[in-house]
């Protein structure tokens, strides 16, 4: 049986007796079983929390009720909780003697979209967003993260005789608009509270539940938002010669901008431009004065990003010039940076998680979506960001070999994680990862 070093985890269940707490030899498989048994006992309350949050989601910086629910949960566990950090964020601290401060992050916000899963606990809530009424849904899986975060906090406190240091559990607002991490840092996250020595976060996705993927180095993409407004001269659709058609310009740009990807960027490097919104016109026989495009730009490397941004701007200007139109308004807004996983933190957790999860714990390529957890990394918190699956393994296997339907991914209105095994994996993996960091620090003294 494989054994590795971790903090002393003596318990009746494990029948472990050691003299030195700092470097006890531990049966990781036994520890995993103990954690899973604890999660099984706690699961009814985690399930109720998950389904309540899922049914009542809130958008970025509106997460007042969601934050209050998590604050109550953490206070009941024994954490000191500070609310309204970075507008609606939480900081929950549990001090347990001398040792490192380890941060675990979850997100609070949901998406402005309608859920179509048909689940009995599906969201039917609406709110005002961007001046319009919209449905709200946890289609990105942040509700799973919050339940796993709460469960990991409870499990780690139950194991408080086996580690020393400070748990810093933070609930971040506005991840979906990549603003919440910056807001918390600007509000004194690392000056009003301890600066973490290590940090962890997870994200769910359309893999098999019970599986975990991770990577060293680049873990997610840089993101930039794109705004382009083409100016024309409106008129009757029956006399286009009297107009300068911005719809034509917008259509040409949507196609031509892809040549930046296919002909200017090195094909071995990641980069993508996607146009997600086109706004213009009021009727089928009216050529409008202008058309606005909104899009997203994703890259891994700074040099690729710079080349793509230059090419996108040049293409937009060229499209307008071809129509003898005024120069377009172009605004590229920097979003989240790539999450860079720390090699040392990953190596420490890797030893534990490989033993605990076997071949279900494996490396994967960097994720192409973006994550503002990068703000915490760039502020100096060595971290590991990993992923967990949410669907039945057999459904995932059939989807991959083409014998079954494609499974809904994050941001799909049909995204529907299987709660219990997904949350159990999140709690177990996060608890073991945090314990690995406490142990590495204790043995390094």
As a whole number of angstroms, the distance between CA 194 and CA 22 comes to 23
End-to-end CA distance of the chain: 28
Residue 277 has pLDDT above 90, yes or no: yes
For 34-53, what is the mean pLDDT? 96
CA neighbours within 13 Å on the CB side: how many for 336? 26
What's residue 104's pLDDT? 98
Other C-beta atoms within 10 Å of 115: how many? 25
Look at residue 66 in the predicted model and tell me its pLDDT. 98
In the structure encoding, which two tokens stand for residue 232, read together? 């024309």
Residue 29 has pLDDT above 90, yes or no: no
Contact 168, 102 (CB under 8 A): yes
Rounded to 5 degrees, φ, ψ at 161 are: -75, -5
Crossing angle of helices 419-443 and 28-55, rounded to 10°? 130
19 confidence band (pLDDT: 50, 70, 90): very low
9 pLDDT above the threshold of 80:
no
The percent of residues above 70 in pLDDT, for the chain, comes to 94
Q: Which two tokens stand for residue 135?
A: 């449905």
pLDDT in tens, 65-110: 999 999 999 999 999 999 999 999 999 999 999 999 999 999 999 9
| Phi-psi map region of 188: left, alpha, beta (phi>0 left; psi -120 to 50 alpha) | left
Identify the pLDDT of residue 443: 78
Q: Give pLDDT, residue 31.
A: 85
Contact 49, 72 (CB under 8 A): no
Q: Mean pLDDT, the chain, as a whole number? A: 93
Q: Is the pLDDT of residue 21 over 50?
A: no
Instruction: Annotate the chain with three-state secondary structure.
Output: CCCEECCCCCCCCCCCCCCCHHHCEECHHHHHHHHHHHHHHHHHHHHHHHHHHHHCCCCCCCCHHHHHHHHHHHHHHCCEEEEEECCCEEEEEEEECCCCEEEEEEECCCECCCCCCCCCCCCCCEEEECCEEEECECCCCHHHHHHHHHHHHHHHHHCHHHCCEEEEEEEECCCCCCCHHHHHHHCCCCCCCCCCCEEEEEEEEEEECCCEEECCEECCEEEEEEEEEEECECEECCCHHHCECHHHHHHHHHHHCHHHHHHHCCCCCCEEEEEEEEECCCCCCEECCEEEEEEEEEECCHHHHHHHHHHHHHHHHHHHHHCCCCCCEEEEEECCCCCEECHHHHHHHHHHHHHHHHHHEEECCCCCCECCCHHHHHCCCCEEEEEEEEECHHHHHHHHHCCCCCCCCCCCCCCCCCHHHHHHHHHHHHHHHHHHHHHHHHHCC
pLDDT exceeds cutoff 70 at 273: yes
pLDDT in tens, 120-177: 999 999 999 989 999 999 999 999 999 999 999 999 999 999 899 999 999 999 999 9
Query: Alpha-carbon distance 47 to 421, whole Å?
Result: 11
Query: Taking residues 5-9, what's their average pLDDT?
Result: 37
- Cβ pair 363, 343 in contact under 8 A: no
What digits encode the pLDDT tens for the residues 381-422? Answer: 999 999 999 999 999 999 999 999 999 999 999 999 999 999
How do residues 285-340 score in pLDDT, each as one tens digit?
Answer: 999 999 999 999 999 999 999 999 999 999 999 999 999 999 999 999 998 899 99
> Does 20 score more than 70 pLDDT?
no
Structure tokens at 207: 């893999």
């Amino acid at each position: 049986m494989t054994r590795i070093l971790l903090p002393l985890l003596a318990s009746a269940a494990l029948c472990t007796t050691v003299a030195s707490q700092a470097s006890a030899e531990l049966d990781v498989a036994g520890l995993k079983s103990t954690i899973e048994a604890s999660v099984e006992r706690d699961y009814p309350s985690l399930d109720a929390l998950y389904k309540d949050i899922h049914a009542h989601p809130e958008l970025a910086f509106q997460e007042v009720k969601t934050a209050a629910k998590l604050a109550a949960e953490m206070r009941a566990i024994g954490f000191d909780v500070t609310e309204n950090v970075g507008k609606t964020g939480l900081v929950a601290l549990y001090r347990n003697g001398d040792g490192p401060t380890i941060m675990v992050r979850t997100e609070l916000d949901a998406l402005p979209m309608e859920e179509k899963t048909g689940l009995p606990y599906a969201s039917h809530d609406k709110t005002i967003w961007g001046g319009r009424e919209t449905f709200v849904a946890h289609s990105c899986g942040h509700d799973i993260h919050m339940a796993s975060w709460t469960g990991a906090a409870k499990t780690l406190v139950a194991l408080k005789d086996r580690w020393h240091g400070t748990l810093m559990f933070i609930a971040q607002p506005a991840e979906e608009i990549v603003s919440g991490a910056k807001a918390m840092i600007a509000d004194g996250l690392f000056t009003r509270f301890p600066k973490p020595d290590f940090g962890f976060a997870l994200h769910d996705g359309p893999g098999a539940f019970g599986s975990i993927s991770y990577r060293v180095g680049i873990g997610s993409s840089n993101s930039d938002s794109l705004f382009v407004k083409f100016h024309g001269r409106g008129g009757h659709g029956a006399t286009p010669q009297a107009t300068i058609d911005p719809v034509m310009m917008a259509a040409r740009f949507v196609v031509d901008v892809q040549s930046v990807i296919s002909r200017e960027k090195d094909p071995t490097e990641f980069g993508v431009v996607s146009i997600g919104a086109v706004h213009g016109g009021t009727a089928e026989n009216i050529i409008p004065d202008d058309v606005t495009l909104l899009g997203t730009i994703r890259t891994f490397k700074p040099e690729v990003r710079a080349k793509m941004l230059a090419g996108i701007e040049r293409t937009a200007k060229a499209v307008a010039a071809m129509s003898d139109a005024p120069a377009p308004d172009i605004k590229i807004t920097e979003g989240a940076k790539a999450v860079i996983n720390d090699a040392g933190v990953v190596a420490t957790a890797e030893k534990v998680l490989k033993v605990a999860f076997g071949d279900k714990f494996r490396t994967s390529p960097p994720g192409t979506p973006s994550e503002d957890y990068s703000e915490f990394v760039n502020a100096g918190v060595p971290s590991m960001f990993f992923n967990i699956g949410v669907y039945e393994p057999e459904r995932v296997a059939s989807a991959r070999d083409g014998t079954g339907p494609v499974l809904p991914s994050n941001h799909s209105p049909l995204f529907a994680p299987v709660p219990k095994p997904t949350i159990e994996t999140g709690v177990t993996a996060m608890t073991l990862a945090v314990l690995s960091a406490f142990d590495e620090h204790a043995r390094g003294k």
